[in-house]
Structure 1
């Protein structure tokens, strides 16, 4: 906290640092995690010194990880966890043992560490960061991707494995006498007892409690109850020497099938995001930058060595044990290549037990912190590498490649949802058409419903258009969902076949203007559904069907006039804005005029 102990000043410092750095990091596509880390470094004792005691912050910030694991537990259920057992206890165990063995061997033979220290080093560095990994996956919406699900399974096993690893460190340090054995037995009984309390309480006590709270109708009491469950479970587990995060996960898991699951998640989510950000800030504050400046080669070299060891091992495990393809295996390795926050706890116990000296301990902590900091950069590089890789050419069956057509009246480009509806209506009217798409899977699916004339082909290639006998058609319908592709297709078709009428799907008003410039008729993809939603809403709010229909017709006519006017000035933002403001006022005046006319007509009818 600040040196003068002012809590408000600390809150202002944290919030200001986060508001300043996180949006900047997001804008640079580095992710919010790196922004929080940089904020911590900036306000910590190594740079500006605005926060003098990072340890006091770190303890509070651990609640962010606790809340994160609780919400993850809520989104699972015991049945889903049982389905994941092979990934959790199979792949997770393989990752920890293999990575720990390789790193421990390098520490033993390459760096001359004693065997007990090498074992703790290997297993501690085999752990990855739950908070960093899951937050990075969530930001990129990859939690449900194959590598995201496997990463979660591995991280869950690592959290479980941290418990016996913490108990193992004193034994490796030489505390293996009968007293230590007795302490170990006592610790084991405490762990089992605390887990039993959580399981029994979660199954038989929490639901009645939430039922009573829900009936009270007080949202603040509901929030307090949710926080009490999470923090109370974490506190109980911490007393028993178990990972607080694992205890919270267990509580969430027990409530996953509860009817109050969504209510709990909505109450916890805001606190989770704020405290998780505080956790990342505390990690940045704890970085010993003086050690980095004193020996940058050694520190950076250890960080690169850690990533260089874990990343290929994770890729190997992902491919062989997890069944991932090459790209997903690389993504798995990048997400989990860094060290983890539980290693901080393991290495602190190792230092206290005499396995590490103070300098080695500081070096290990800085190495893990830097590996966390480099993870967003690796994810960014991985995303660019994936985008730059040429997609493997899927073998196109000859019956999909050969376009067979007898002078179609309509050619459809794109057989997504919109293209399929157009095709169904044309087919019902016995109007001949040819459809083109570049997704083999979509083509085969559509053909499975009947003999639909859909073929593999890119409408941006002139030879494909010629093979589809586009020149003999009357209409060319562009139903692709990519605005750039549809615009370039309209440009190509209008140039090669100027006699052809083009109707194109438009994403927005700007896209409409671009298509109109090319001579195409533009149909906005959500326009008519939005009008229907508005009509039904007006009827539901008390207007008659006739009144609602009149309002929608009035809006449609007015909007088409505005669109035509804006087409003349759409490349001038100021004039477009002025036109929109004038149109809004004009529409309000027209609606008021319609209402007055309806009132006069109603009075005349009543008389």
Structure 2
């Protein structure tokens, strides 16, 4: 059955769009990382999957990707847009403050991991030049997968980003170094590195100068047209031109994309650009993951599962241990070190680029490159699982180190104190007000970073997940003066309120509610007070309007308090009315029983 190239491209596009439309909502429904879904789709519909059956079942043509090479440019675009979005979240000032992390920690992680893996491969019989090439390739970690899972603000995300940024910057020197080590390379190999570096440096300087001068004017003109399409076109034009400029002088296109994001981040239009390009980044990144899945052949994996498993485990263990030890030496907490080490343990999408360069330089055999390409694809597939394991291990380790004795968190063994569950934006403010009025308190949160921040501020805080069995008993609420629930989890807040009310009928329970309906539900569950966010924001807005209109502050505050009490009484009465029929039904069933 013959198909034209145009029909091939059209069919492949339909499969990719269909995969994005099905994978993202389906895996989100089951709380599974879509990364795994896209890779599995690539395995299923690629040439090594259902694609091999097209000749026997022609109808499968419309459900498979027949030409893997045709979608690779879109996959590369996904990586470029990802680095562009990362640049939008940064600034030159922030990069300067991270210089020690990037060129200190990042350089140490890449160099030590690469040398350790290279030495192991050399001991197994790989020639030294090929071992160095493989070591550097496998030492790289996935920017495309790690940063969307961690961000760049948390302790884990900040350290991971520093190492990943150095790896992205080092990619081009690594490729040129491999060319210089080739059996046929002479002095021109190292001359090529120097030539690329000075041309690349000059290009970056020119882009920075002209970018600061031209980009604000470009986006100002696009904004004046009030055309979203023109604004999007201008954004994509900047990214593509920057990537072409760095590619033309021998640098990686992702360097140009990152620099374009940094330049736009310095303008007032960066938020609008980020919103405009986000859908394209997500779709293109999905295409990249599909190409990773297409490189996995189930039959080849089954025939070589022992050696492939050994290789994957060896790389992951080596990189995890090295990264974690470096972070511990730097002074990071054990949990952060372990979680970051596991996140950075898998090879990268750029590993595939370095493997290709090593094979072209004849440093490794094509069969060796193919083997490690499968190892890389398997490592990328399990990256979300490693992230989950790292997060769980970090929490357990931090729990042992941060879970304080409840008895020690008061003025004495029987001293009453308010227990604040959730130390986010709302909980931290409540704790501060309690401290201002010299009220004893204990803050509890399942986010170890929030607990660490609270303890640095001198707040008595402990790590704990209130949803886990036995956690309520550990809090010893029998000696608490009040329980304050500030989590932004409506169902869990209602459930905990009902549980605590049954155990402690006289305890004051104050809960954060999303709206009036949620507040009424909390009153039915037994809350002493439920504070709806929507009501409070409306009252604060009314107070600001009245004051700005010239009404005296005293009458405004009095009327606000009166209106608040009126709404609370109405919500509480509604909750009590809804609860009374249930209580009567319960008592009736007990009598009948």
TM > 0.5 between the two? Answer: yes
**Distance change (3 Å), C-alpha of 1:250 and 1:489:** same
Q: Does 1:259 align with 2:268?
A: yes
Distance in 2 between residues matched to 1:444 and 1:194, nearest whole Å: 45
Greater radius of gyration (CA): 1
Map of 1:43-442 to 2, 5 A cutoff? 43-49=45-51, 50-110=64-124, 112-138=125-151, 143-180=152-189, 183-321=192-330, 323-389=331-397, 390-392=399-401, 393-394=403-404, 400-402=410-412, 412-414=418-420, 416=427, 435-438=440-443
Aligned counterpart, 1:574: none
The SS at the match of 1:100 is helix
Give 3-state SS (helix, strand or coil) of 1:479's partner: strand
Q: CA deviation at 1:182?
A: 5.2
Deviation of 1:299 after TM superposition, in Å, equals 1.4
Q: TM-score of the superposition, structure 2-length normalised?
A: 0.78
Structure 2 counterpart of 1:566: 578
Segments of structure 2 that go 5 or more residues without pairing to the other structure are 52-63, 422-426, 445-450, 461-470, 488-492, 548-554, 584-593
> d(CA) in 2 for partners of 1:13 and 1:488?
49
Cα distance, 1:403 vs structure 2:
6.0
Displacement after TM superposition at 1:304 (Å): 1.2
Change (3 A) 1:378 1:26: farther
Q: Paired residue for 1:5?
A: 6
Structure 1: distance between partners of 2:206 and 2:353: 25
Q: Deviations over 1:280-301 (max 9, x none)?
A: 1221122243421221111122
CA RMSD after TM alignment:
3.9
Contact 2:42 2:291 (8 Å CA) reproduced: yes
Deviations 1:18-46 (A, max 9, x none): 33333443444431211221122122111
Equivalent residues of 1:460, 1:492 under 8 A apart: no
Q: Please give the secondary structure, in 1, of the residue aligned with 2:530.
A: strand
1:602 match: none
Contact 2:239 2:257 in 1 (8 A): yes
Q: What do residues 305-336 of structure 1 show as CA deviations (whole Å, max 9, x unaligned)?
A: 11111111111111113x21111001111111
Equivalent pair of 1:316/1:329 in contact (CA under 8 Å): yes
The match for 1:493 among 492, 500, 504 is 504
Supply the distance in 1 between the matched residues of 2:250 and 2:582 (Cα, whole angstroms): 66
Structure 1 range deviating more: 147-156 or 192-201: 192-201
Out of 28, 31, 34, which is 2:33 matched to? Answer: 31
> How far apart in 2 are the matches of 1:447 and 1:47?
56
* Superimposed CA distance per residue, residues 551-586 of structure 1 (whole angstroms, 9 cap, x where no aligned partner): 999987775565444335679xxxxxxxxxxxxxxx
Contact 1:339 1:371 in 2 (8 A): yes
1:70 and 1:252 in contact (8 A); partners too: yes
- Structure 1 residues 358, 23: closer, same or farther in 2, change over 3 A? same
After superposition, the C-alpha distances for 1:189-233 in whole angstroms (9 at most, x for unaligned) are 543343244223212322222232223332211110100000111
For 1:108 and 1:446, how far apart are their aligned partners in 2?
Answer: 52
Q: Partners of 2:244 and 2:320 in 1: how far apart? A: 34
Normalised TM-score (structure 1): 0.76
In structure 2, relative to structure 1, the CA distance for the partners of 1:313 and 1:442 (3 Å cut) is closer
CA distance in 1, matches of 2:522, 2:190: 77
Q: How many residues align?
A: 528
